[in-house]
Amino acid sequence: MAATGSEKQGAKAFYVSTPIYYVNDAPHLGHAYTTVAGDVLTRWHRQRGEKVWYLTGTDEHGQKIMRTAEANNVTPQEWCDKLVEEAWKPLWEHLNIANDDFIRTTEKRHTDRVQEFVQDLYDKDEIYKGGYEGPYCVGCEEYKLPGDLIEAEDGTKLCPIHKKPVEILKEENYFFKLSTYGPKLLEFYEANPGFIQPESARNEVVNFVKQGLQDLSISRSTFDWGVPVPWDDKHVIYVWVDALLNYATAVGYGANQEKFDETFPANVHLVGKDILRFHAVIWPAMLMAQGLPVPGKVAANGWLMVGGEKMSKSNLTGIKPQDLTSHFGVDAYRWYFLRAIAFGADGSFSWEDFSARYTSELANDYGNLASRVAAMVGKYFGGALPEATASGDAEKAVQEGLAKAVSESDRLIGEELDFQAGILAIFDFVKQVNGYITEQEPWKVAKDTSEEGQARLATILYTAAESLRGVAVLLNPIMPVTSQALWDSLGAEPALGALPTQQVQNAGTWGQLPVGATVTKGAVLFPRLEEKPAA
Protein backbone atom coordinates (compact mmCIF):
# COMPACT_ATOMS: atom_id res chain seq x y z
CA MET A 1 0.00 0.00 0.00
CA ALA A 2 1.44 3.35 -1.00
CA ALA A 3 2.74 5.70 1.66
CA THR A 4 1.20 9.14 1.89
CA GLY A 5 3.09 12.35 1.44
CA SER A 6 2.48 13.44 5.03
CA GLU A 7 4.62 10.70 6.57
CA LYS A 8 7.65 12.16 8.33
CA GLN A 9 11.03 10.54 7.90
CA GLY A 10 12.54 9.76 11.28
CA ALA A 11 9.18 9.80 13.05
CA LYS A 12 8.26 6.85 15.26
CA ALA A 13 6.23 4.37 13.24
CA PHE A 14 2.85 3.18 14.44
CA TYR A 15 4.00 -0.41 14.95
CA VAL A 16 1.50 -3.26 15.16
CA SER A 17 2.24 -6.98 15.41
CA THR A 18 0.28 -10.18 15.29
CA PRO A 19 1.46 -13.24 17.19
CA ILE A 20 3.89 -15.24 15.12
CA TYR A 21 1.93 -18.36 14.35
CA TYR A 22 2.96 -21.97 14.90
CA VAL A 23 3.43 -23.78 11.60
CA ASN A 24 2.34 -27.17 12.85
CA ASP A 25 -0.57 -26.91 10.41
CA ALA A 26 -2.28 -24.62 7.90
CA PRO A 27 -3.93 -21.40 9.12
CA HIS A 28 -7.60 -21.34 10.10
CA LEU A 29 -10.20 -18.64 10.82
CA GLY A 30 -8.77 -17.84 14.25
CA HIS A 31 -5.37 -16.95 12.82
CA ALA A 32 -6.95 -14.90 10.04
CA TYR A 33 -9.19 -13.04 12.51
CA THR A 34 -6.24 -11.54 14.37
CA THR A 35 -4.29 -10.85 11.17
CA VAL A 36 -7.19 -9.06 9.48
CA ALA A 37 -7.74 -6.98 12.64
CA GLY A 38 -4.11 -5.89 12.55
CA ASP A 39 -4.34 -5.13 8.85
CA VAL A 40 -7.43 -2.95 9.31
CA LEU A 41 -5.79 -1.11 12.21
CA THR A 42 -2.58 -0.41 10.30
CA ARG A 43 -4.40 0.52 7.09
CA TRP A 44 -6.48 2.94 9.15
CA HIS A 45 -3.40 4.62 10.60
CA ARG A 46 -1.66 4.58 7.24
CA GLN A 47 -4.69 6.30 5.75
CA ARG A 48 -4.36 8.91 8.49
CA GLY A 49 -1.06 9.78 6.86
CA GLU A 50 1.02 8.16 9.58
CA LYS A 51 4.18 6.13 9.23
CA VAL A 52 3.18 2.51 9.89
CA TRP A 53 4.90 -0.82 10.39
CA TYR A 54 2.88 -4.05 10.38
CA LEU A 55 4.59 -7.29 11.31
CA THR A 56 3.43 -10.87 11.14
CA GLY A 57 5.27 -14.15 10.75
CA THR A 58 5.73 -17.73 11.87
CA ASP A 59 7.09 -19.45 14.98
CA GLU A 60 9.11 -22.43 13.74
CA HIS A 61 11.01 -23.90 16.69
CA GLY A 62 9.99 -26.12 19.58
CA GLN A 63 8.96 -29.63 20.38
CA LYS A 64 5.54 -29.41 18.75
CA ILE A 65 7.03 -28.49 15.37
CA MET A 66 9.65 -31.20 15.68
CA ARG A 67 7.05 -33.89 16.41
CA THR A 68 4.77 -32.72 13.60
CA ALA A 69 7.65 -32.87 11.13
CA GLU A 70 8.62 -36.35 12.33
CA ALA A 71 5.03 -37.51 11.90
CA ASN A 72 5.19 -36.29 8.29
CA ASN A 73 8.59 -37.90 7.63
CA VAL A 74 10.39 -34.64 6.88
CA THR A 75 12.90 -32.47 8.73
CA PRO A 76 11.54 -29.61 10.84
CA GLN A 77 13.00 -27.05 8.43
CA GLU A 78 11.45 -28.79 5.42
CA TRP A 79 8.10 -28.84 7.19
CA CYS A 80 8.29 -25.14 8.05
CA ASP A 81 9.38 -24.16 4.54
CA LYS A 82 6.49 -26.06 3.00
CA LEU A 83 3.81 -24.66 5.30
CA VAL A 84 5.03 -21.07 5.11
CA GLU A 85 5.35 -20.94 1.34
CA GLU A 86 2.30 -23.04 0.46
CA ALA A 87 -0.19 -22.05 3.17
CA TRP A 88 0.64 -19.04 5.33
CA LYS A 89 2.06 -16.45 2.93
CA PRO A 90 -0.47 -17.25 0.16
CA LEU A 91 -3.38 -16.82 2.57
CA TRP A 92 -2.25 -13.39 3.72
CA GLU A 93 -1.87 -12.35 0.09
CA HIS A 94 -5.34 -13.75 -0.65
CA LEU A 95 -6.87 -11.74 2.21
CA ASN A 96 -5.15 -8.51 1.07
CA ILE A 97 -2.99 -8.30 4.19
CA ALA A 98 -0.63 -5.33 3.71
CA ASN A 99 2.08 -6.44 6.14
CA ASP A 100 5.42 -4.66 5.93
CA ASP A 101 7.43 -7.69 7.00
CA PHE A 102 7.02 -11.42 7.52
CA ILE A 103 9.50 -12.87 9.97
CA ARG A 104 10.37 -16.52 10.40
CA THR A 105 12.14 -17.56 13.58
CA THR A 106 14.45 -19.86 11.64
CA GLU A 107 15.95 -16.90 9.78
CA LYS A 108 19.53 -15.94 10.63
CA ARG A 109 18.56 -12.29 11.11
CA HIS A 110 16.48 -13.54 14.04
CA THR A 111 18.47 -16.42 15.51
CA ASP A 112 21.72 -14.46 15.78
CA ARG A 113 20.01 -11.62 17.62
CA VAL A 114 18.19 -14.03 19.95
CA GLN A 115 21.52 -15.49 21.02
CA GLU A 116 22.92 -12.02 21.60
CA PHE A 117 19.92 -10.97 23.69
CA VAL A 118 20.06 -14.07 25.89
CA GLN A 119 23.84 -13.82 26.22
CA ASP A 120 23.44 -10.24 27.44
CA LEU A 121 20.97 -11.35 30.11
CA TYR A 122 23.33 -14.14 31.17
CA ASP A 123 26.23 -11.69 31.41
CA LYS A 124 24.06 -9.42 33.57
CA ASP A 125 23.41 -12.32 35.98
CA GLU A 126 19.73 -12.40 35.03
CA ILE A 127 20.01 -16.11 34.11
CA TYR A 128 21.16 -19.04 36.23
CA LYS A 129 21.32 -22.84 35.92
CA GLY A 130 18.86 -25.06 37.75
CA GLY A 131 16.49 -27.99 37.41
CA TYR A 132 12.75 -28.30 36.94
CA GLU A 133 10.08 -30.96 37.04
CA GLY A 134 6.46 -30.34 36.23
CA PRO A 135 3.50 -30.79 33.87
CA TYR A 136 4.20 -29.61 30.33
CA CYS A 137 1.78 -29.07 27.43
CA VAL A 138 3.54 -29.56 24.12
CA GLY A 139 0.64 -27.85 22.30
CA CYS A 140 1.15 -24.67 24.35
CA GLU A 141 4.92 -25.21 24.63
CA GLU A 142 4.50 -24.27 28.27
CA TYR A 143 5.01 -25.68 31.73
CA LYS A 144 1.66 -25.58 33.52
CA LEU A 145 0.96 -24.84 37.14
CA PRO A 146 -0.96 -27.69 38.79
CA GLY A 147 -3.86 -25.33 39.46
CA ASP A 148 -4.17 -24.55 35.74
CA LEU A 149 -4.98 -28.13 34.76
CA ILE A 150 -8.38 -29.73 34.35
CA GLU A 151 -9.20 -33.36 35.09
CA ALA A 152 -10.63 -35.95 32.72
CA GLU A 153 -13.23 -38.47 33.87
CA ASP A 154 -10.49 -41.03 34.45
CA GLY A 155 -8.47 -38.59 36.55
CA THR A 156 -5.93 -37.74 33.84
CA LYS A 157 -4.65 -34.17 34.05
CA LEU A 158 -5.37 -32.20 30.90
CA CYS A 159 -4.31 -28.87 29.41
CA PRO A 160 -7.36 -26.58 29.75
CA ILE A 161 -6.82 -25.18 26.23
CA HIS A 162 -6.03 -28.28 24.19
CA LYS A 163 -7.95 -30.79 26.36
CA LYS A 164 -5.05 -33.21 25.98
CA PRO A 165 -2.94 -34.94 28.67
CA VAL A 166 0.11 -33.02 29.85
CA GLU A 167 3.54 -34.65 30.09
CA ILE A 168 5.60 -34.63 33.26
CA LEU A 169 9.04 -33.37 32.33
CA LYS A 170 12.19 -33.27 34.41
CA GLU A 171 15.31 -31.65 33.02
CA GLU A 172 18.24 -29.39 33.74
CA ASN A 173 17.49 -25.88 32.49
CA TYR A 174 18.63 -22.29 32.59
CA PHE A 175 16.26 -19.88 34.31
CA PHE A 176 15.47 -16.19 33.88
CA LYS A 177 14.90 -14.39 37.20
CA LEU A 178 11.30 -13.55 36.37
CA SER A 179 10.24 -13.66 40.03
CA THR A 180 12.19 -10.48 40.77
CA TYR A 181 10.13 -8.50 38.25
CA GLY A 182 6.74 -8.96 39.92
CA PRO A 183 6.83 -5.63 41.81
CA LYS A 184 8.14 -3.74 38.77
CA LEU A 185 5.39 -5.20 36.58
CA LEU A 186 2.65 -4.30 39.07
CA GLU A 187 4.02 -0.77 39.31
CA PHE A 188 4.02 -0.56 35.52
CA TYR A 189 0.42 -1.86 35.23
CA GLU A 190 -0.67 0.70 37.82
CA ALA A 191 0.99 3.57 35.93
CA ASN A 192 -0.27 2.34 32.53
CA PRO A 193 -3.86 1.09 32.99
CA GLY A 194 -4.39 0.82 29.23
CA PHE A 195 -1.40 -1.46 28.68
CA ILE A 196 -3.55 -4.61 28.70
CA GLN A 197 -6.91 -4.74 26.97
CA PRO A 198 -9.69 -5.61 27.51
CA GLU A 199 -10.09 -4.78 31.18
CA SER A 200 -11.04 -8.36 32.04
CA ALA A 201 -7.69 -9.49 30.60
CA ARG A 202 -5.87 -6.81 32.57
CA ASN A 203 -7.49 -7.95 35.80
CA GLU A 204 -6.50 -11.55 35.10
CA VAL A 205 -2.87 -10.63 34.54
CA VAL A 206 -2.67 -8.34 37.57
CA ASN A 207 -4.12 -11.03 39.83
CA PHE A 208 -1.74 -13.61 38.38
CA VAL A 209 1.32 -11.45 39.07
CA LYS A 210 0.10 -10.56 42.57
CA GLN A 211 0.12 -14.26 43.47
CA GLY A 212 3.88 -14.29 42.90
CA LEU A 213 5.90 -15.18 39.84
CA GLN A 214 8.15 -18.20 39.41
CA ASP A 215 11.46 -17.95 37.61
CA LEU A 216 11.15 -18.85 33.95
CA SER A 217 12.88 -21.84 32.38
CA ILE A 218 14.49 -20.34 29.27
CA SER A 219 16.14 -23.45 27.85
CA ARG A 220 15.36 -27.05 26.97
CA SER A 221 17.82 -29.93 26.91
CA THR A 222 15.67 -32.91 25.88
CA PHE A 223 15.52 -32.01 22.16
CA ASP A 224 17.56 -29.91 19.76
CA TRP A 225 15.11 -28.13 17.42
CA GLY A 226 15.69 -24.56 18.50
CA VAL A 227 18.23 -21.76 18.81
CA PRO A 228 21.31 -23.05 20.68
CA VAL A 229 22.10 -21.43 24.02
CA PRO A 230 25.31 -19.54 23.13
CA TRP A 231 27.31 -20.54 26.23
CA ASP A 232 26.02 -24.15 26.42
CA ASP A 233 25.22 -25.94 23.18
CA LYS A 234 23.61 -28.87 25.05
CA HIS A 235 20.59 -26.58 25.46
CA VAL A 236 18.27 -24.76 23.06
CA ILE A 237 16.48 -21.56 23.98
CA TYR A 238 12.91 -22.00 25.17
CA VAL A 239 10.64 -21.46 22.16
CA TRP A 240 8.64 -18.68 23.81
CA VAL A 241 11.74 -16.62 24.62
CA ASP A 242 12.85 -17.15 21.04
CA ALA A 243 9.39 -16.25 19.70
CA LEU A 244 8.81 -13.09 21.72
CA LEU A 245 12.08 -11.63 20.55
CA ASN A 246 10.79 -11.51 16.96
CA TYR A 247 9.12 -8.20 17.76
CA ALA A 248 12.59 -6.72 18.31
CA THR A 249 14.72 -8.65 15.81
CA ALA A 250 12.34 -7.94 12.92
CA VAL A 251 12.80 -4.19 13.29
CA GLY A 252 16.56 -4.08 13.55
CA TYR A 253 17.50 -5.01 17.12
CA GLY A 254 21.26 -5.45 17.22
CA ALA A 255 21.57 -4.90 13.46
CA ASN A 256 19.98 -1.61 12.38
CA GLN A 257 19.81 0.89 15.23
CA GLU A 258 18.17 3.63 13.16
CA LYS A 259 15.31 1.40 12.11
CA PHE A 260 14.99 0.03 15.62
CA ASP A 261 14.76 3.52 17.13
CA GLU A 262 12.12 4.56 14.58
CA THR A 263 9.96 1.47 15.10
CA PHE A 264 10.40 -0.21 18.49
CA PRO A 265 8.55 -0.74 20.76
CA ALA A 266 5.28 -1.90 19.28
CA ASN A 267 2.34 0.43 19.78
CA VAL A 268 0.01 -2.56 19.76
CA HIS A 269 0.68 -6.28 20.16
CA LEU A 270 -2.41 -8.20 19.00
CA VAL A 271 -2.57 -11.59 20.71
CA GLY A 272 -5.00 -14.38 21.45
CA LYS A 273 -6.12 -14.48 25.07
CA ASP A 274 -4.48 -17.88 25.58
CA ILE A 275 -1.02 -16.33 25.07
CA LEU A 276 -1.68 -13.15 27.01
CA ARG A 277 0.63 -13.95 29.95
CA PHE A 278 3.61 -14.42 27.68
CA HIS A 279 3.10 -10.97 26.18
CA ALA A 280 1.92 -9.06 29.25
CA VAL A 281 4.22 -10.64 31.86
CA ILE A 282 7.26 -12.41 30.38
CA TRP A 283 7.87 -10.05 27.45
CA PRO A 284 7.85 -6.76 29.41
CA ALA A 285 10.00 -8.36 32.13
CA MET A 286 12.56 -9.42 29.53
CA LEU A 287 12.60 -5.89 28.12
CA MET A 288 12.95 -4.35 31.58
CA ALA A 289 15.89 -6.65 32.26
CA GLN A 290 17.55 -5.45 29.06
CA GLY A 291 16.74 -1.78 29.65
CA LEU A 292 14.52 -1.57 26.57
CA PRO A 293 11.16 0.23 26.31
CA VAL A 294 7.95 -1.70 26.95
CA PRO A 295 5.18 -1.91 24.30
CA GLY A 296 2.33 0.56 24.36
CA LYS A 297 -0.50 -1.96 24.47
CA VAL A 298 -1.20 -5.69 24.50
CA ALA A 299 -4.70 -6.30 23.11
CA ALA A 300 -6.07 -9.79 23.63
CA ASN A 301 -8.81 -10.92 21.28
CA GLY A 302 -11.21 -13.64 22.29
CA TRP A 303 -11.64 -17.05 20.75
CA LEU A 304 -13.68 -17.91 17.71
CA MET A 305 -16.04 -20.66 18.75
CA VAL A 306 -17.74 -23.40 16.75
CA GLY A 307 -20.18 -25.62 18.57
CA GLY A 308 -19.04 -24.22 21.92
CA GLU A 309 -15.39 -25.14 21.31
CA LYS A 310 -12.42 -22.92 20.49
CA MET A 311 -11.71 -23.11 16.78
CA SER A 312 -8.57 -25.19 16.22
CA LYS A 313 -7.25 -28.08 14.21
CA SER A 314 -6.84 -30.20 17.34
CA ASN A 315 -10.54 -29.80 18.14
CA LEU A 316 -11.47 -30.59 14.51
CA THR A 317 -13.22 -27.23 14.24
CA GLY A 318 -10.66 -25.54 12.02
CA ILE A 319 -12.28 -23.90 9.01
CA LYS A 320 -10.23 -22.61 6.11
CA PRO A 321 -10.78 -18.94 5.33
CA GLN A 322 -10.93 -19.88 1.64
CA ASP A 323 -14.09 -21.88 2.41
CA LEU A 324 -15.76 -18.55 3.17
CA THR A 325 -14.04 -16.19 0.75
CA SER A 326 -14.98 -18.40 -2.20
CA HIS A 327 -18.64 -17.90 -1.25
CA PHE A 328 -18.83 -14.41 0.30
CA GLY A 329 -15.79 -12.70 -1.23
CA VAL A 330 -12.62 -11.43 0.45
CA ASP A 331 -13.91 -7.97 1.37
CA ALA A 332 -17.03 -9.36 3.02
CA TYR A 333 -14.85 -11.84 4.91
CA ARG A 334 -12.61 -9.03 6.21
CA TRP A 335 -15.70 -7.09 7.28
CA TYR A 336 -17.76 -9.86 8.86
CA PHE A 337 -15.68 -11.02 11.81
CA LEU A 338 -14.84 -7.49 12.97
CA ARG A 339 -18.49 -6.49 12.54
CA ALA A 340 -20.03 -9.54 14.19
CA ILE A 341 -17.71 -10.00 17.18
CA ALA A 342 -16.68 -7.42 19.77
CA PHE A 343 -12.88 -7.44 19.71
CA GLY A 344 -11.66 -8.89 22.99
CA ALA A 345 -14.70 -11.11 23.53
CA ASP A 346 -15.31 -14.70 22.47
CA GLY A 347 -17.58 -15.01 19.46
CA SER A 348 -19.41 -17.82 17.74
CA PHE A 349 -19.24 -18.24 14.00
CA SER A 350 -22.12 -19.57 11.96
CA TRP A 351 -22.67 -19.69 8.23
CA GLU A 352 -26.25 -18.55 8.73
CA ASP A 353 -25.24 -15.40 10.63
CA PHE A 354 -22.67 -14.48 8.00
CA SER A 355 -25.26 -14.94 5.23
CA ALA A 356 -27.88 -12.87 7.04
CA ARG A 357 -25.52 -9.95 7.77
CA TYR A 358 -24.08 -10.04 4.25
CA THR A 359 -27.55 -9.83 2.69
CA SER A 360 -28.96 -7.23 5.07
CA GLU A 361 -26.03 -4.86 5.58
CA LEU A 362 -23.65 -5.30 2.66
CA ALA A 363 -25.94 -6.21 -0.23
CA ASN A 364 -29.15 -4.40 0.70
CA ASP A 365 -28.08 -1.37 2.78
CA TYR A 366 -24.70 -0.54 1.26
CA GLY A 367 -24.41 -2.19 -2.16
CA ASN A 368 -27.96 -1.35 -3.20
CA LEU A 369 -27.46 2.28 -2.15
CA ALA A 370 -24.39 2.58 -4.37
CA SER A 371 -26.22 1.01 -7.31
CA ARG A 372 -29.32 3.19 -6.92
CA VAL A 373 -27.39 6.44 -6.73
CA ALA A 374 -25.25 5.63 -9.78
CA ALA A 375 -28.31 4.51 -11.74
CA MET A 376 -30.24 7.74 -10.98
CA VAL A 377 -27.32 10.00 -11.86
CA GLY A 378 -27.07 8.09 -15.13
CA LYS A 379 -30.79 8.24 -15.84
CA TYR A 380 -31.46 11.85 -14.92
CA PHE A 381 -28.14 13.58 -15.67
CA GLY A 382 -26.48 11.38 -18.27
CA GLY A 383 -23.89 10.15 -15.77
CA ALA A 384 -22.48 13.63 -15.03
CA LEU A 385 -22.56 14.49 -11.34
CA PRO A 386 -24.79 17.55 -10.96
CA GLU A 387 -24.19 20.56 -8.75
CA ALA A 388 -26.03 20.93 -5.43
CA THR A 389 -27.64 24.37 -5.48
CA ALA A 390 -30.75 23.83 -3.36
CA SER A 391 -29.50 22.44 -0.06
CA GLY A 392 -31.60 22.68 3.08
CA ASP A 393 -32.05 21.13 6.50
CA ALA A 394 -32.22 17.59 5.13
CA GLU A 395 -28.83 17.96 3.46
CA LYS A 396 -27.36 19.60 6.53
CA ALA A 397 -28.42 16.58 8.58
CA VAL A 398 -26.65 14.25 6.13
CA GLN A 399 -23.48 16.36 6.26
CA GLU A 400 -23.55 16.29 10.05
CA GLY A 401 -24.15 12.54 9.94
CA LEU A 402 -21.03 11.99 7.87
CA ALA A 403 -18.94 14.19 10.16
CA LYS A 404 -20.20 12.17 13.13
CA ALA A 405 -19.41 8.86 11.42
CA VAL A 406 -15.88 10.06 10.68
CA SER A 407 -15.24 11.27 14.22
CA GLU A 408 -16.67 8.20 15.91
CA SER A 409 -15.11 5.58 13.64
CA ASP A 410 -11.71 7.27 13.81
CA ARG A 411 -11.78 7.22 17.59
CA LEU A 412 -13.23 3.74 17.92
CA ILE A 413 -11.12 1.96 15.31
CA GLY A 414 -7.97 4.05 15.32
CA GLU A 415 -7.63 4.59 19.07
CA GLU A 416 -9.80 2.17 21.01
CA LEU A 417 -9.54 -0.91 18.75
CA ASP A 418 -13.33 -1.22 18.96
CA PHE A 419 -13.72 -2.40 15.40
CA GLN A 420 -17.32 -3.50 15.83
CA ALA A 421 -18.56 -0.15 17.15
CA GLY A 422 -16.50 1.74 14.56
CA ILE A 423 -17.99 -0.25 11.71
CA LEU A 424 -21.48 0.22 13.14
CA ALA A 425 -20.92 4.00 13.22
CA ILE A 426 -20.15 3.90 9.50
CA PHE A 427 -23.14 1.71 8.68
CA ASP A 428 -25.45 3.85 10.80
CA PHE A 429 -24.57 6.62 8.38
CA VAL A 430 -25.27 4.32 5.41
CA LYS A 431 -28.73 3.73 6.89
CA GLN A 432 -29.16 7.49 7.33
CA VAL A 433 -28.41 8.08 3.64
CA ASN A 434 -30.86 5.35 2.64
CA GLY A 435 -33.46 7.06 4.81
CA TYR A 436 -32.66 10.41 3.22
CA ILE A 437 -33.26 9.05 -0.28
CA THR A 438 -36.49 7.36 0.80
CA GLU A 439 -37.77 10.60 2.31
CA GLN A 440 -36.67 12.85 -0.57
CA GLU A 441 -38.04 10.52 -3.28
CA PRO A 442 -35.82 11.71 -6.16
CA TRP A 443 -37.78 9.56 -8.63
CA LYS A 444 -40.81 11.73 -7.90
CA VAL A 445 -38.84 14.99 -7.85
CA ALA A 446 -37.54 14.10 -11.32
CA LYS A 447 -41.04 14.53 -12.71
CA ASP A 448 -40.88 18.24 -11.86
CA THR A 449 -39.16 19.64 -14.94
CA SER A 450 -39.03 23.19 -13.62
CA GLU A 451 -35.70 24.80 -12.82
CA GLU A 452 -36.45 24.53 -9.11
CA GLY A 453 -37.40 20.87 -9.43
CA GLN A 454 -34.26 19.96 -11.37
CA ALA A 455 -32.10 21.90 -8.90
CA ARG A 456 -33.68 19.96 -6.07
CA LEU A 457 -33.11 16.64 -7.89
CA ALA A 458 -29.47 17.59 -8.54
CA THR A 459 -28.98 18.45 -4.87
CA ILE A 460 -30.43 15.15 -3.67
CA LEU A 461 -28.22 13.08 -5.96
CA TYR A 462 -25.08 15.10 -5.28
CA THR A 463 -25.71 14.70 -1.54
CA ALA A 464 -26.12 10.93 -1.92
CA ALA A 465 -23.02 10.58 -4.11
CA GLU A 466 -20.89 12.76 -1.82
CA SER A 467 -22.06 10.67 1.13
CA LEU A 468 -20.88 7.54 -0.66
CA ARG A 469 -17.50 9.18 -1.25
CA GLY A 470 -17.11 9.57 2.52
CA VAL A 471 -18.22 5.98 3.09
CA ALA A 472 -15.67 4.70 0.55
CA VAL A 473 -12.87 6.48 2.41
CA LEU A 474 -13.96 5.12 5.80
CA LEU A 475 -14.45 1.56 4.60
CA ASN A 476 -11.24 1.47 2.56
CA PRO A 477 -9.10 0.05 5.42
CA ILE A 478 -11.72 -2.65 5.99
CA MET A 479 -12.86 -3.48 2.45
CA PRO A 480 -10.23 -2.08 0.06
CA VAL A 481 -11.38 -3.76 -3.15
CA THR A 482 -15.04 -2.73 -3.05
CA SER A 483 -14.12 0.71 -1.69
CA GLN A 484 -11.89 1.33 -4.71
CA ALA A 485 -14.64 0.05 -7.01
CA LEU A 486 -17.13 2.49 -5.47
CA TRP A 487 -14.54 5.27 -5.64
CA ASP A 488 -14.05 4.62 -9.34
CA SER A 489 -17.79 4.50 -10.01
CA LEU A 490 -18.17 7.95 -8.43
CA GLY A 491 -15.59 9.42 -10.77
CA ALA A 492 -13.34 10.34 -7.84
CA GLU A 493 -9.54 10.40 -7.83
CA PRO A 494 -8.30 6.92 -8.82
CA ALA A 495 -5.79 6.43 -5.98
CA LEU A 496 -8.09 6.11 -2.97
CA GLY A 497 -6.27 7.07 0.24
CA ALA A 498 -3.27 8.68 -1.45
CA LEU A 499 -4.12 12.35 -0.93
CA PRO A 500 -4.49 14.26 2.37
CA THR A 501 -8.14 14.98 1.53
CA GLN A 502 -8.72 11.22 1.32
CA GLN A 503 -7.38 10.50 4.79
CA VAL A 504 -9.95 9.06 7.15
CA GLN A 505 -9.94 12.09 9.44
CA ASN A 506 -10.73 14.34 6.44
CA ALA A 507 -13.45 12.13 4.97
CA GLY A 508 -16.17 14.35 6.46
CA THR A 509 -15.04 17.51 4.68
CA TRP A 510 -18.05 18.12 2.47
CA GLY A 511 -17.99 18.85 -1.24
CA GLN A 512 -14.95 16.87 -2.38
CA LEU A 513 -16.61 15.19 -5.38
CA PRO A 514 -16.14 17.50 -8.38
CA VAL A 515 -19.25 18.64 -10.18
CA GLY A 516 -19.33 17.04 -13.61
CA ALA A 517 -17.50 13.90 -12.53
CA THR A 518 -18.52 10.87 -14.54
CA VAL A 519 -20.59 8.54 -12.40
CA THR A 520 -20.93 5.00 -13.72
CA LYS A 521 -22.91 2.04 -12.52
CA GLY A 522 -20.25 -0.63 -12.25
CA ALA A 523 -20.52 -4.25 -11.18
CA VAL A 524 -22.65 -4.93 -8.10
CA LEU A 525 -20.43 -4.47 -5.04
CA PHE A 526 -21.95 -7.39 -3.14
CA PRO A 527 -23.72 -9.83 -5.47
CA ARG A 528 -26.60 -11.99 -4.37
CA LEU A 529 -25.32 -15.11 -2.66
CA GLU A 530 -25.57 -18.47 -4.32
CA GLU A 531 -26.81 -21.44 -2.38
CA LYS A 532 -24.49 -22.55 0.42
CA PRO A 533 -22.00 -25.03 -1.04
CA ALA A 534 -22.30 -28.63 0.11
CA ALA A 535 -20.08 -29.57 3.04
- Enumerate the active-site residues: 28, 31, 137, 140, 159, 162, 310, 313
Cα 235 to chain centroid, rounded: 35
Question: In whole angstroms, what is the distance from residue 368 CA to residue 361 CA?
Answer: 10
The Cα–Cα gap between 338 and 13 comes to 24
Length of the chain: 535
- Which of the 8 DSSP states describes residue 233? E
DSSP-derived letter for residue 518 is B
Query: What distances in angstroms separate CA 201 from CA 33, 207, 281, 340, 345, one per listed residue?
Result: 19, 10, 12, 21, 10
Cα 285 to Cα 131, 176, 189, distances in angstroms: 21, 10, 12
Q: How far apart are CA 408 and CA 349, in angstroms?
A: 27
Ordered strands of the 347-348 beta sheet: 309-310, 304-306, 347-348
Rg of the chain in Å (alpha carbons): 26
| Cβ 437 vs Cβ 458: under 8 Å | no
Instruction: Please tell me the distance from the alpha carbon of residue 216 to that of residue 19, in angstroms, as a whole number.
Output: 20
Write the CB contacts of 6 (distance below 8 Å, at least 6 apart in sequence). 49, 500, 503
Residue 331: CA atoms inside 13 Å, Cβ hemisphere, count? 19
- Euclidean distance between CA atoms 57 and 89, whole angstroms: 9
